[in-house]
Chains A and B, each alone.
Chain A
Amino acid sequence: MIYREAGDFKTSYVADSQTFPIRMDRRAYWAALAVAFLVIPFVINDYWLNAVFLPFLIYAIAALGLNILTGYCGQVSLGTGGFMAVGAYACYKLMTAFPDINITLHVIAAGAITAGVGVLFGLPSLRIKGFYLAVATLAAQFFLVWLFNRVPWFYNYSASGQISAPERTVLGVPITGAATDAWATYLFCLVFVVASAWIARNLTRGSVGRTWMAIRDMDIAAEIIGVSPLRAKLSAFAVSSFFIGIAGALFFAVYLGAVEVGSAFGIDKSFLVLFMVIIGGLGSILGSFLGAGFMVLLPVFLTNVLRDGLGWPTTLVAHLELVIVGALIIGFLIAEPHGLAALWRTTKEKLRSWPFPY
């Protein structure tokens, strides 16, 4: 039987509340993990790594982070780029200050520092909501970029004002710097993505996630049943910024290698990640991945088809890409305002009752 609950009886609450209640979903999940860990590392090359996999994986972490804040806790944020910059610069300072410590720890510590900064900029959310909060986080975005531009201590007084990642290794294999292998950086980021998704799922399925969603859906009722708005909102800001900080650190250290804050972590990054979350689906872990995949893959796909396939001039294709991506975003949002994840959910529900949908 395809995609049925029939005959798959749950006899405990643990079994009933598992992430993938349907057997076929569970198998698909493990198969996807197996391909990601056991197949892709052997076939990946530099083009696929830099054009598709690294940006997808790193943006997926950022989208997860923003989805926790905006999708689960209902606090709109336009400061994602700024928080990614915090992660990047924290990672850079740690890498240069403690060269002997493993880069993995640096990335995690960068996430923790960003969490602290996120809580600080989350404080206004206790007083203001909606668009006003979005404007407050926008201020955070501009302030943070300005800070990293203007205070030379953050870029170690380098003449160019850029930060560039020195070579660091994990288990003897170089992860950052000039001489890295595609499979190594891919696996390094993949581990972070899987761990982030796992943590995000655990947090959103339990009592912490329910406090966030309660604040999102009706903050007055949430307070009346014992949710402290202060703790709920600030914990959402902390967890969200933690993930975004890790994404920023990986974006700088592993993906780009050298970064100028204004161009790498500008306001367009904030909007890009916000688009991912909205297109993928607010309040959905899967949606974060779908949104990141959509926004990363679509331009690559269009370039390949239009420039390499049809042989159109590069400049024309570059502009057309923007138009098509924009149009598709609008089209998608009209067709399914709740994002790709909702589209997938409806498909699954239809599939479950197929071929007798009544």
Chain B
Amino acid sequence: MSVAEATEPVSTADGRQIGGVLMDMRHITLRFGGVEAIKDISFDIREGEIRAIIGPNGAGKSSMLNVISGFYNPQEGEVWFRGERRPPMKPYQVARQGIARTFQNIALFDGMSVLDNIMTGRLTHMRTGLFRQAVWRGGAQREEMANREVVEKIIDFLEIQRIRKTPVGRLPYGLKKRVELARALAAEPNLLLLDEPMAGMNVEEKEDMSRFILDVNDEFGTTIALIEHDMGVVMDLSDRVVVMDYGRKIGDGTPDEVRANPEVIDAYLGVAHD
């Protein structure tokens, strides 16, 4: 892919404009001992798009997300973010680059309130050191309140005002998922990674979550990469889809292209055998 092509905005199938390449994964290979979880996969994520990664269980989707967020460093291949090659990084350094994520099985801080959980998402934006924190009045308090305002906007946006001060451990599953999204959003990320945001939800909760994902993308212009098993949701939400199977990429394109791809149908979507 030439540089000019990569930075130019393109329009998607449904006429939405998406920007240049934000993240470019080039020939990623990830091994655990003798097992190749990801085999030579390349794909890109463009600014402002909703990019889905789908595939059967064990296809390497979550591993891919873990590579992006810095949990795993691939043995081969390059990760390019905003036009620069990213050196191997720790997860917290990746977070400071503006990449936030949620987890497949909720990873909230159970001992803290909803508000504190979401405020934790603002850590990358908070600068006052230990000594000014110890004094509190002045710098630390000002910073806290400024960040609280941002967090309150997100709380309004996700409609979780009522549970602000509730300890997270007491919340039902669907709300926990929403709080986790709120915590990721609080970081005001450039790239938001969602690992099965709708797993285990009922239809209503799925509708809510879909609405939030679309709104986040629309109102904040956040680029989103998501893993999801519900094909209806994936096809409706995403601009482009990567399909993985056994650590390989077997399809990449708009939902319609992917749906028509025979290899994808074989591996994942299923066919009516006559």
Q: B223 — which chain A residues lie within 8 A by C-beta?
A: none
Interface centre among A202, A205, A206, A220 (most CB of B within 10 A): A206
In order of increasing CB-CB distance, the 10 nearest A-B pairs are A226-B95, A221-B107, A217-B109, A202-B136, A226-B124, A207-B126, A223-B91, A13-B148, A199-B134, A210-B120
Q: Is the CB of A210 within 8 A of B112?
A: yes
Task: Decide if B92 is an interface residue (CB 8 Å cutoff).
Answer: yes
77-103 of chain A: CB within 8 A of chain B: none
| A207 with B133: CB separation less than 8 A | yes
Shortest B167–chain A CB gap in Å is 11
Residues 103-142 of B at the A interface (beta carbon under 8 Å): 103, 107-112, 116, 119-124, 126, 128, 130, 133-136, 140-141
Q: Mark B77-116, 1 if CB is under 8 A from A, else 0.
A: 0000000000000111001100011010001111110001
**Chain B stretch 223-260: residues in CB contact (< 8 A) with chain A:** none
Chain A residues near B122 (CB-CB < 8 A): 207
Number of cross-chain contacts by CB at 8 Å = 109
- B90 proximity list for chain A (CB < 8 A): 223, 228
Q: Are A207 and B123 in contact (CB under 8 A)?
A: yes
Pairs across A and B, CB under 8 Å, 23 listed? A13-B152, A14-B145, A17-B145, A206-B133, A207-B128, A207-B143, A208-B133, A213-B120, A214-B112, A217-B108, A217-B109, A220-B107, A221-B103, A222-B120, A223-B92, A224-B100, A225-B124, A226-B95, A226-B124, A228-B90, A235-B130, A239-B130, A283-B111
- Considering only residues 194-248 of chain B, those with a C-beta below 8 Å from chain A are none
B contact residues around A211 at 8 Å (CB): 120, 123
- Binary contact track A184-224/B, C-beta < 8 Å → 1, others 0: 00000000000000010011011110110110111011111
Asked if A202 and B140 sit within 8 Å, CB to CB, the answer is yes
- Given contacts A17-B148, A207-B126, A210-B123, 17 further A-B pairs with CB under 8 A are A13-B148, A203-B133, A207-B122, A207-B133, A207-B144, A214-B120, A218-B109, A220-B91, A221-B107, A223-B90, A224-B92, A224-B100, A224-B107, A225-B124, A225-B187, A226-B123, A283-B111
Band of interface residues on A: 20 to 34
Please count how many residues in chain B sit with their CB below 8 Å of the partner chain's CB atoms: 41
Question: With an 8 A cutoff between CB atoms, is B183 at the interface?
Answer: yes
Residues of B within 8 A of A224 (CB): 69, 71, 91-92, 95, 100-101, 103, 107
B92/A228 in contact, CB under 8 A: yes
B266 partner residues in chain A, CB cutoff 8 A: none
Point out the residue from A199, A208, A226 that lies within 8 Å of B96, measured CB to CB: A226
**Chain B residues with CB under 8 A of A223:** 90-92, 95
Per a CB cutoff under 8 Å, which of B107, B109, B140 touches A206? B140
- Contact (Cβ within 8 A) A225 B144: no
Say how far A197's CB is from chain B's closest CB, in angstroms.
Answer: 12
Smallest CB separation, A268 vs chain B (Å): 29
Residues of A within 8 A of B109 (CB): 213-214, 216-218, 221-222
Contacts of B274 in A (CB 8 A): none
CA distance A119 to B119 in the complex (A): 27
Do A226 and B134 touch (CB < 8 A)?
no
Closest-CB distance, A342 to chain B (whole angstroms): 12
A205 to B144, CA, bound (A): 10
A205-B136, A225-B183, A226-B187 known; A210+B116 contact, CB < 8 A: yes
User: Which residues of chain A have C-beta atoms less than 8 A from B14's C-beta?
Assistant: none
Q: Which residues of A are found within 8 Å of B124, using beta-carbon distances?
A: 225-226
* A266 shortest CB reach to chain B, Å: 31
User: Which residues of A have CB within 8 Å of B5?
Assistant: none
Q: How far is the CA of A339 from the CA of B100 in the complex (A)?
A: 36
In the assembled complex, how far is the CB of residue A16 from the closest CB belonging to chain B, in whole angstroms? 8
Whether the pair B103, A225 counts as a contact (CB closer than 8 A) is no
A227 in contact (CB, < 8 A): yes
Complex CA gap A222/B110 in Å reads 12
A213:B116 contact, CB within 8 angstroms:
yes
Q: Which B residues lie within 8 Å of A217 (CB)?
A: 108-112
Q: Which B residue sits closest to A221, measured CB to CB? A: B107
Q: Report A-chain residues with C-beta under 8 Å of the C-beta of B123.
A: 207, 210-211, 214, 225-227
Which of A216, A228, A235 has the most B CB atoms < 10 Å from its CB?
A228
**What residues on B are CB-neighbors of A283 within 8 Å?**
111
- Bound-state CA distance A220–B66 (Å) is 12
- Of the candidates B91, B107, B130, B141, the one whose C-beta lies within 8 Å of that of A208 is B130
Say if the beta carbon of B149 comes within 8 Å of chain A: yes
Contact bitstring B3-37, A, C-beta under 8 A = 1, else 0: 00000000000000000000000000000000000
Closest B-chain residue to A218, C-beta based?
Answer: B107
Q: Are B108 and A202 closer than 8 Å at their CB atoms?
A: no
CA distance A203 to B130 in the complex (A): 8
Chain B residues near A214 (CB-CB < 8 A): 109, 112, 120, 123
Residues of B within 8 A of A239 (CB): 130
Measured CB to CB, the closest approach of chain B to A133, in angstroms, equals 19
Q: Write the chain A residue with the least CB distance to B116.
A: A210
Measured in the bound complex, the distance between the Cα atoms of B113 and A207 in whole Å is: 14
* Assembled-state Cα–Cα distance A235/B91 (Å): 19
Q: How far is the CB of B110 from chain A (nearest CB, A)?
A: 6
Rounded to whole Å, the gap between the CB of B208 and the closest CB of chain A is 23
Q: Which residues of A contact B133 (CB under 8 A)?
A: 202-203, 206-208
B186–chain A nearest beta-carbon distance, Å? 9
CB-CB under 8 A from B119, the residues of chain A are: 207, 210
Q: What chain A residues lie within 8 Å of B136 (beta carbons)?
A: 202, 205-206
Please name all residues of chain A whose beta carbon is closer than 8 Å to the beta carbon of B69 when the two chains form the complex: 224
| Chain B proximity of A240: nearest CB distance (Å) | 12
Given A203-B130, A205-B136, check contact A13 B149 (CB 8 Å).
yes
Q: Could you say which of A207, A216, A223 has the most chain B C-beta atoms within 10 Å of its C-beta?
A: A207
Known: A210-B116, A221-B107. A14 touches B141 (CB 8 A): yes
What's the nearest-Cβ distance from chain B to residue A204, in Å? 10
